[in-house]
């Protein structure tokens, strides 16, 4: 250990929820991750025929009965639905169903980058084609819509914050929840992010030529770019005292969070990973954890040549010689890049790895790019110590960086 | 952020603004002092406005010459929101005596922005490209600027800001949430200073969509005017612009010899889960506990910078919340629970339009001693609300509450106080091209 942790309450994760290309649920996500395959293919609902590349990790149709269990489901955007489904699941696991969760001590902290853009595109298409469009398609267009939908669902009366800082949004939202919990502004928080596939991001990332026409291959030599995904990840966070008081079982401890900015370029990362390293150091300092204590990295790992190389340089700077011996995985290889919510679903995946005592493998064949030296988890899960300290990294457009530090909760 | 006795005091040391009435402190202060808005007619090429007498006006800032703050080359690569943000941020830095790119106290610089809808014009252009030419035609340069955090990223590059870079998108409450986050960044020692920028842009289509939702004041429903708290109010007038504040610890400001514009005394936020996605809730009890706790910590205030904009439901809820809090709190040092008169209610959105930066600008200017003018558009008390916004005259608040209740249910408040000394207008912001 180096510096002491940031003052305030200890914060634990007591519930997780997820919607991903593997399905509607955290169990579905973990089964997919543990299986070592990718939920990436040619989408059925989302038409990619006119785009430069075809693949994405599309969320399958929702399970029977879900729509009926959520008030106002019909009016929710696709991203809203992912958000509320993941939040319901997380609250259920945390034992917060019904009126237990409702109150002034509950906050919602949510990140995302597209919100109701998919529905907005339908609106715009109608306006362009027929000069007529249904205004109701825009109800969930604002970027606060998924977080607000979750807040309505859980009956939150405390702070509700929506953040949109590109691909760092979800992790930044979880970091904001950590601050609020430490300060005593809330006793519980629902934190995460949600995003859905849409033509704007699909065409936009393709225009930058950073989408892999094949399955993405984070940290592999042949990597060509990312695959987009959609879904949501949600954590229920609460102070340790609060969890103990109500008999909730922690799944992991959220030790710290850090944020930084490259201040370098709108889309390209700093080539030496300077901003990413700053966020890593900031998060470790906030957590009161030394670099030598970290036993697992769930990397941002988009699969683009530049990003992965810059991220590796950041990891090397922070962890030094040990960097080559820390297991690194990349959840995006399995569920695609969920953009603003990627940090949220990767936080869920990190908690799952810690709870299972195993880092999931990055899907695909072959080892890591030898030029990088990363100890990529491939070919099967890698065991983790019960009290392993893990970091989950998120680096976004505009140089926005966010890192979370989590520790396994001994079973 | 809850104020903590162990945390350093936080102050505002720089202010910059671009909005419908002009660029900088002086035009903004003059418009607020005289109660004179500067509405423009919005183009309506999309044909999506309400038929007949749909809304026509907005407070537009797109026409201002920003070349003193944003070079022509840089401007070509930026969305309107990014340009407005860079200009306002440069003004705030100059006002604070900070050189863009320099760190304060050897710590990284944080950026905390708010933004309700992101770069809407860029989004519309990309969607138009997809519709008319197909997805292969999408411009990478446009896509880069389409993210909601593009303004924060552009300003970070200008300022070489290596600290946290966060964009809050909580509609009307976003600016105050951003201010709170920025205060937290500097008070926790994570940043030497933080730039808070509330930036929003208006496009013809966005204007039309608000019109279709019935949110805007319009000529066929009693005249198109922003009338905060008025009985005849029939909607708001959209505004665009950017307001920027430099936030740092009082200790840092003292060490730099910086002039303090305002002291940050605390913040609170809350949510009404019964509120609809497209409007406001109706029950003040959902929001009042958080505001009461804030005022109990931060002390009484001499004025309220309201978010009231002329919205029928939004103004109603804000009036109810304020009346519930002032009606139920004992006076300072007292033990009773008797009602007290509401403090003066400022409503700057009547002048600057509905956008996140309006209240930040009005609050800092009022605490600096700038005159607070009448509330244009207000002429008749709504008997249901029973509140009257500020009618102009001498007002020198030593502290004020900024109140913002957002569409969708979120609410945020902040208490700011006057710095020691009197307001001295700063020299005109010095521009610096990139």
CATH of the domain at A125: 3.40.47.10
Q: Tell whether A30 is covered by a domain.
A: yes
Considering the domain architecture, whether residues A188 and A272 belong to the same structural domain is answered as no
From the list A204, A262, A399, which residue is nearest B138 (CB)?
A: A204
Three-class DSSP category at A154: helix
Beta-bridged to residue B399, according to DSSP, are: B417
Considering the domain architecture, whether residues A333 and A220 belong to the same structural domain is answered as no
Name the maximum alpha-carbon separation found in chain B. Answer: 70
The pair phi, psi for residue A180, each rounded to 5°, is -65, -40
Q: Tell whether A37 is covered by a domain.
A: yes
The residue from A215, A242, A270, A337 that is catalytic is A337
What is the torsion angle, in degrees rounded to the nearest 10, for the CA atoms of residue B117, residue B121, residue B124 and residue B130? -120
Is A300 part of the annotated catalytic residue set?
A: yes
- Cβ–Cβ gap A124/B124 under 8 Å: yes
Burial class (CB in 10 A: 0-12, 13-18, 19+), B330: exposed
Considering the domain architecture, whether residues A264 and A192 belong to the same structural domain is answered as no
Whether the complex's predicted ipTM is more than 0.85 is answered with yes
User: What tokens does A350 get?
Assistant: 């990190």
Residue B430: per-residue pLDDT? 34
**Calpha distance A382→A361 (Å, rounded):** 7
Considering the domain architecture, whether residues A164 and A183 belong to the same structural domain is answered as yes
Please tell me the distance in Å from B392's CA to the nearest CA on chain A: 34
Which of the residues in chain B have pLDDT under 50?
A: 3, 331, 333-334, 336, 422-434
- Cβ–Cβ gap B270/A52 under 8 Å: no
Contact predicate A405/A255, CB 8 Å: yes
Searching chain A, which residue's CA lies closest to the CA of residue B77?
A: A266
Q: Tell whether A194 is covered by a domain.
A: yes
- Cβ–Cβ gap A161/B170 under 8 Å: yes
From the list A157, A163, A399, which residue is nearest B166 (CB)?
A: A163
Q: Tell whether A2 is covered by a domain.
A: no
Q: Which of residues 115-174 of A touch B (CB under 8 A)?
A: 117, 120-121, 124-125, 127-129, 131, 133, 135, 138-145, 147-149, 151-152, 154-166, 168, 172
Considering the domain architecture, whether residues A91 and A154 belong to the same structural domain is answered as yes
Q: Tell whether A1 is covered by a domain.
A: no
**Calpha distance A220→B423 (Å, rounded):** 60
What is the separation of C-alpha A104 from the centre of its chain, rounded to a whole number of angstroms? 26
**Calpha distance A204→B404 (Å, rounded):** 34
From the list A152, A176, A205, which residue is nearest B273 (CB)?
A: A152
Q: Tell whether A315 is covered by a domain.
A: yes
Q: How many CB atoms lie within 10 A of CB B142?
A: 18
Q: Containing domain of residue A39, as a range?
A: 11-245
Three-class DSSP category at A195: strand
Number of domains in chain A: 2
Considering the domain architecture, whether residues A121 and A265 belong to the same structural domain is answered as no
Where among A245, A272, A289 does a domain terminate? Answer: A245
Residue B427: per-residue pLDDT? 39
Residuewise pLDDT in 10s, chain A (411 residues): 344 566 678 999 999 999 999 999 999 999 999 999 999 999 998 889 999 999 999 999 999 999 999 999 999 999 999 999 999 999 999 998 765 556 769 999 999 999 999 999 999 999 998 888 999 999 999 999 999 999 999 999 999 999 999 999 999 999 999 999 999 999 999 999 999 999 999 999 999 999 999 999 999 999 999 999 999 999 999 999 999 999 999 999 999 999 999 999 988 899 999 999 999 999 999 999 999 999 999 999 999 999 999 999 999 999 999 999 999 999 999 999 999 999 999 999 999 999 999 999 999 888 899 999 999 999 999 999 999 999 999 999 999 999 999 999 987
User: What tokens does B380 get?
Assistant: 């008749």
What is the torsion angle, in degrees rounded to the nearest 10, for the CA atoms of residue A330, residue A331, residue A335 and residue A336? -40
Considering the domain architecture, whether residues A286 and A154 belong to the same structural domain is answered as no
- Cβ–Cβ gap B123/A266 under 8 Å: no
Residue B4: per-residue pLDDT? 52
Where among A212, A245, A278 does a domain terminate? Answer: A245
Q: How many CA atoms lie within 13 A of A306 on its CB side?
A: 13
**Calpha distance A235→B427 (Å, rounded):** 49
Considering the domain architecture, whether residues A381 and A233 belong to the same structural domain is answered as no
Between strands B194-200 and B110-114, the pairing is parallel
Where among A245, A280, A305 does a domain terminate? Answer: A245
**Calpha distance B119→B147 (Å, rounded):** 7
The residue from A91, A167, A198, A353 that is catalytic is A167
Considering the domain architecture, whether residues A209 and A274 belong to the same structural domain is answered as no
Q: Is A43 on the interface with B (CB under 8 A)?
A: no
Q: Is A111 on the interface with B (CB under 8 A)?
A: no
The residue from A242, A270, A300, A360 that is catalytic is A300
Q: Tell whether A19 is covered by a domain.
A: yes
Considering the domain architecture, whether residues A235 and A292 belong to the same structural domain is answered as no
**Calpha distance B394→A81 (Å, rounded):** 52
Beta-bridged to residue A400, according to DSSP, are: A261
Quick one: DSSP state of residue B329? S
Select from B198, B199, B216 the least CA-distant residue to B207. Answer: B216
The pair phi, psi for residue B94, each rounded to 5°, is -60, -40
Is A270 part of the annotated catalytic residue set?
A: no
**Calpha distance B139→B151 (Å, rounded):** 18
Q: Is A49 on the interface with B (CB under 8 A)?
A: no
Q: How many CA atoms lie within 13 A of B209 on its CB side?
A: 23
Select from B102, B104, B63 the least CA-distant residue to B83. Answer: B63
Contacts of A107 in chain B (CB under 8 A): 271
Residue B432: per-residue pLDDT? 31
Residue A335: per-residue pLDDT? 98
Considering the domain architecture, whether residues A204 and A280 belong to the same structural domain is answered as no
Q: How many CA atoms lie within 13 A of B230 on its CB side?
A: 24
Full 3-state SS string of B217-267: CCHHHCCCCCCCCECCCCCECEECEEEEEEEEEHHHHHHHCCCCCEEEEEE
Instruction: Name the H helices within A274-404.
Output: 274-287, 305-319, 332-335, 342-356
Searching chain B, which residue's CA lies closest to the CA of residue A126?
A: B131
Considering the domain architecture, whether residues A156 and A281 belong to the same structural domain is answered as no
Count of A–B CB contacts within 8 Å? Answer: 238
**Calpha distance A201→B143 (Å, rounded):** 8
What is the torsion angle, in degrees rounded to the nearest 10, for the CA atoms of residue A141, residue A143, residue A148 and residue A150? 90
Is A120 part of the annotated catalytic residue set?
A: no
User: What tokens does A56 get?
Assistant: 């994405």
How close are the terminal C-alpha atoms of chain B, in Å?
35
Residue B421: per-residue pLDDT? 52
Q: Is A71 on the interface with B (CB under 8 A)?
A: no
Residue with tokens 């297991």: A327
CA distances from A129 to A251, B127, B203 (A): 50, 13, 20
Select from B387, B373, B228 the least CA-distant residue to B308. Answer: B228
Q: Tell whether A83 is covered by a domain.
A: yes
The pair phi, psi for residue A284, each rounded to 5°, is -65, -40
User: What tokens does A355 get?
Assistant: 């709870």
Q: What is the pTM of this model?
A: 0.96
């Amino acid at each position: 250990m180096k510096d002491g942790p940031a003052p305030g309450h200890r914060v634990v994760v007591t519930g997780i929820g997820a919607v991903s290309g593997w399905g509607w649920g955290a169990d579905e996500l973990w089964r997919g991750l543990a299986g070592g395959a990718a939920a990436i293919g040619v989408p059925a609902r989302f038409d990619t025929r006119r785009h430069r590349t075809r693949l994405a990790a599309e969320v399958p149709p929702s399970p029977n009965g879900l729509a009926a269990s959520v008030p106002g489901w019909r009016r929710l955007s696709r991203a809203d639905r992912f958000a509320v489904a993941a939040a319901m699941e997380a609250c259920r696991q945390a034992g917060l169903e019904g009126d237990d969760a409702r109150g002034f001590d509950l906050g919602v902290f949510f990140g995302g980058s597209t919100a109701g853009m998919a529905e907005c595109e339908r609106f715009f298409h109608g306006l362009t084609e027929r000069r007529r469009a249904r205004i109701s398609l825009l109800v969930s267009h604002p970027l606060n819509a998924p977080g607000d939908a979750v807040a309505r669902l859980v009956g939150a009366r405390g702070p509700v914050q929506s953040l949109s800082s590109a691909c760092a949004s979800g992790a930044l939202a979880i970091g904001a929840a950590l601050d609020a919990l430490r300060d005593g502004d809330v006793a519980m928080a629902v934190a995460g992010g949600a995003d859905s596939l849409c033509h704007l991001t699909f065409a936009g990332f393709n225009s930058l030529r950073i989408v892999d026409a094949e399955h993405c291959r984070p940290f592999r030599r042949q990597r060509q770019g990312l695959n987009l995904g959609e879904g949501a990840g949600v954590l229920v966070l609460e102070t340790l005292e609060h969890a103990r008081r109500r008999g909730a079982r922690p799944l992991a401890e959220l030790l710290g969070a850090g944020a930084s900015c490259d201040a370098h370029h709108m889309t390209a990362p700093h080539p030496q990973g300077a901003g990413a390293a700053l966020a890593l150091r900031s998060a470790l300092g906030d957590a009161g954890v030394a670099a030598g204590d970290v036993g697992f990295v769930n990397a941002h790992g988009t699969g683009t040549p530049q990003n992965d190389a810059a991220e590796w340089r950041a990891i090397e700077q922070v962890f030094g010689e040990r960097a080559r011996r820390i297991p690194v995985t990349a959840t995006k290889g399995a569920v695609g890049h969920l953009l603003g919510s990627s940090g949220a679903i990767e936080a869920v995946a990190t908690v799952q790895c810690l709870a299972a005592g195993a880092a999931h493998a990055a899907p695909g064949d072959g080892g890591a790019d030898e030029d990088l030296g990363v100890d990529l988890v491939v070919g099967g899960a890698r065991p983790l110590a019960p009290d392993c300290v893990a970091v989950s990294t998120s680096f976004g457009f505009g140089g926005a960086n966010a890192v979370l530090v989590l520790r396994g909760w001994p079973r | 952020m809850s104020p903590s006795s162990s945390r350093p005091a936080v102050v505002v040391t720089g202010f910059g603004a671009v909005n419908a009435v002009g660029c900088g402190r002086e035009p903004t202060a003059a418009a607020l002092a005289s109660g004179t808005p500067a509405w423009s007619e919005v183009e309506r090429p999309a044909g999506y406005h309400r038929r007949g007498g749909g809304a026509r006006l907005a407070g537009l800032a797109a026409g201002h010459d920003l070349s003193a703050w944003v070079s022509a080359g840089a401007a070509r690569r930026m969305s309107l929101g990014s340009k407005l943000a860079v200009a306002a941020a440069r003004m705030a830095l100059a006002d604070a005596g900070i050189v863009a790119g320099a760190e304060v106290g050897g710590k990284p610089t944080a950026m905390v922005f708010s933004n309700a809808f992101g770069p809407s014009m860029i989004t519309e252009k990309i969607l138009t490209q997809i519709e008319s030419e197909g997805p292969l035609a999408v411009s990478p340069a446009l896509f880069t600027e389409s993210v909601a955090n593009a303004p924060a990223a552009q300003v970070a590059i200008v300022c070489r800001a290596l600290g946290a870079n966060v964009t809050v998108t909580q509609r009307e409450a976003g600016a105050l949430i951003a201010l709170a986050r920025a205060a937290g960044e500097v008070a926790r020692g994570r940043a030497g200073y933080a730039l808070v920028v509330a930036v929003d842009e208006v496009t013809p289509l966005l204007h039309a969509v608000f019109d279709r939702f019935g949110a805007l004041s319009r000529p066929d429903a009693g005249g198109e005017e922003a009338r905060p708290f008025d009985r005849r109010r029939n909607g708001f007038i959209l505004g665009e612009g950017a307001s920027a504040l430099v936030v740092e610890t009082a200790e840092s400001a003292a060490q730099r010899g910086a002039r303090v514009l305002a002291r940050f005394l605390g913040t609170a936020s809350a949510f009404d889960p019964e509120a609809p996605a497209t409007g406001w809730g109706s029950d003040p009890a959902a929001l009042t506990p958080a505001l009461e706790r804030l005022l109990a910590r931060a002390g009484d205030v001499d004025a309220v910078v309201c978010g009231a904009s002329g919205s029928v439901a939004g103004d109603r809820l804000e009036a109810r919340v304020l009346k519930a809090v002032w009606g139920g709190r004992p006076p300072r040092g007292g033990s009773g629970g008797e009602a007290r008169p509401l403090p003066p209610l400022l409503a700057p959105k009547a002048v600057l339009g509905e956008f996140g930066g309006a209240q930040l600008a009005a609050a800092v200017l009022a605490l600096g001693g700038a005159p607070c003018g009448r509330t244009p558009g207000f002429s008749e008390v709504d008997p249901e609300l029973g509140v009257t916004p500020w009618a102009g005259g001498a007002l020198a608040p030593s502290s004020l509450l900024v109140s913002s209740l957002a569409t969708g249910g979120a609410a945020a408040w902040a208490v700011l106080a006057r710095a020691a000394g009197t307001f001295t207008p700063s020299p005109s912001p010095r521009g610096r091209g990139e």
